[in-house]
Amino acid sequence: MEERIIFENENTLVIDKPAGKNSDDFEGRAHRLDKDTSGVLLIAKNKKALDYYQSQFKNRQIEKKYIALVTGHIKNSSGEIRTMLGRSPSDRRRQKAYLLNDPNIENKREAITKYKVLKNFENYDLIEAEPLTGRKHQIRAHFTYLDHPLAGDKLYKFKNQKTLEGLDRQFLHATYLKVTLLEGEETEFQSELPEDLNKVLEKIK
């Protein structure tokens, strides 16, 4: 499936990345989305724009929101997850969340995710997640830490986690990005849930 162009000018390209495509394939990407995460991806078309956008991401000046389906029901309808995050000692492909006062947090980095529950299903919650930091696998690791791993997440799933019919990837979509463009204008970009994720929701209503 090909990416859809949301916005383009001489310095900036914003695309709707399909699941299954590696964001590293896009030259000049200013941030990354996991291969099986779909949604809004910001790409710089020159070095000046790349440095500018990467600085904004580093300084937490860019607002990002994701839609995710998590297993089970989250205790609070909204909240903030604040941990340290680092490579899991038991599986180097995974990230693991640590309490802020954990004695083993050397070389770990702070990770903060705000969330709110959008809709309850029988065995799942549809949520909006807003990562305030940009750590690898942050949303996936944070909700596993809360004992609510993302539906369809093969890497972070629990041993007896049920699979959802028609879902062959983690249910995670980058739906919103607010950024100040190189030209100085604050701009919002949005992407609707793709067809494969909408079909999953229709089946579990």
Question: pTM for the whole thing?
Answer: 0.95
Rounded to 5 degrees, φ, ψ at 29 are: -60, 135
CA distances 57 to 26, 40, 134, Å, are 17, 14, 8
pLDDT averaged over every residue in the chain: 95
Q: Where are the domains of the chain?
A: 4-204
pLDDT band at 129 (very low <50, low <70, confident <90, very high): very high
Residue 153 bears catalytic tag: no
pLDDT band at 162 (very low <50, low <70, confident <90, very high): confident
List the Cα angle 204/171/102 in 5-degree steps: 120
pLDDT band at 73 (very low <50, low <70, confident <90, very high): very high
Catalytic one among 16, 24, 25, 34?
34
Does domain 4-204 match CATH 3.30.2350.10?
yes
| Spatial CB neighbours of 103, under 8 Å, sequence gap ≥ 6 | none
